[in-house]
Every structure is written in structure tokens, then in C-alpha cells.
Amino acid sequence: MNMKEKWENLFKNKKTENLIFFLVVLIVTLIILNQILKEDSSKKDTTNNISNTAVLASSEEKVNNTNLSKDLEEILKKIEGVGNVSVLITYSESEITKVPMYNENNSQNSTEETDETGTNKKTTSDTIQKEVVLGADQNPVIQTIENPKIEGAIVTAEGASNIEVKSNIVAAVEAATGIATHKIQVFEMKK
């Protein structure tokens, strides 16, 4: 019996096929688990290097809303039939909010006691620890920046008495700001 025949006889056996399939699945699973554990350990290493100093949770700056208004004025002047334009945009808040990234640790502690009468008493306590993640420069790492929501727009424009021009202005402001058309008011500018 040569080597080729031995291999063919070995693979004809159903148990051998199932064993090989199981070993392949096991190896793939171990590789995937290894990758997941490597990612978790690298995350732990980076969070351990960060200082645990408490920092103010939100940092706010004043919104410079004149840029959007000026940009809209420049665009609207280019619409056919529109002369001079003035745009006022109103916001729900006047500040940009920077939301920092947090390192959050949650733990749950549960105890069960039985007294002499046989009564069970179960006590559960949850602990949540939340710390701001600081960068190398000791400033908070920003996760998101929340801009104030635009509430409405008022546009005064030469040529706005024409229904088609007024409709084009409303459509342009809606496209640029994302606010609903009923929150955009367009008026004819005084001459």
C-alpha cells in the first residue's frame, strides 16, 4: 500500500472528515479570539496612560453665525431677479457645545444574605465612574461638536415681490440650512 492509498483510506472515514472540519473551525475561532483580545488589550494600554484628572465636562464657544448669513446673502444675490439681500438666521442656542470623550467604568456588586429565620435578603449596588479622557496636551479629547439648531430665517431682498423670485429664495435658504419652508420668511426690501 503506497502513501496515496493510505491518505485516500484515511479520508473515506466519516469520523476523520468530521475531525478535520472541527479542527479547522477551532483554529479559525482561536484566530478570531486572538484578534479580539489584542484589540481589547491595546485599548486598555491607551486608557491607562491617560491622567485621571477631573475636567469640566463641556466647553462652549460663541457661535459665529454671521458667516452663514453672509454666505447666504452672496448666494441669493446671484439668483435671477434678486438685487440687494439681507439675511438673519436665528438659533435655538447661542453657543457651540463640545462633548468630550469619557472613560466609563461600570460595576455591579450583589450580595445575598440569609438570616436565622430563613429570610433571604438580596442587595445590589451599581457603581458608575465617568472620567473625561485627556489628550497629551492635558486638554479633553473631543468626541463631537454640537452646533446650535437653526430655528428660522428672515430674508429681505429686492425683487421678492415677484412670486417666482420669492419661491427661489425660500428654496435656496431651505437647501442651505435644512430648515422647513414655514420657518423661512421672505420680504421685499425697501428701496
SS (H, E, C) the chain: CCHHHHHHHHHHCHHHHHHHHHHHHHHHHHHHHHHHHHHHHHHHHHHHCCCCCCCCCCEEEECCCHHHHHHHHHHHHCCCCCCCEEEEEEECCCEEEEEECEEEEEEEEEEEEECCCCCEEEEEEEEEEEEECECCCCCECEEEEECCCEEEEEEEECCCCCHHHHHHHHHHHHHHHCCCHHHEEEEECCC
What confidence score (pLDDT) does residue 121 get? 81
Host domain of residue 116: 101-132
What confidence score (pLDDT) does residue 185 get? 93
Both 63 and 93 in one domain: the answer is yes
The string of pLDDT tens digits covering residues 51-88 is 333 333 333 334 444 588 888 889 898 999 999 999 98
Domain count within the chain: 3
What confidence score (pLDDT) does residue 114 get? 80
The string of pLDDT tens digits covering residues 97-141 is 777 777 788 888 888 888 778 788 888 888 888 787 777 787 777
Both 92 and 115 in one domain: the answer is no
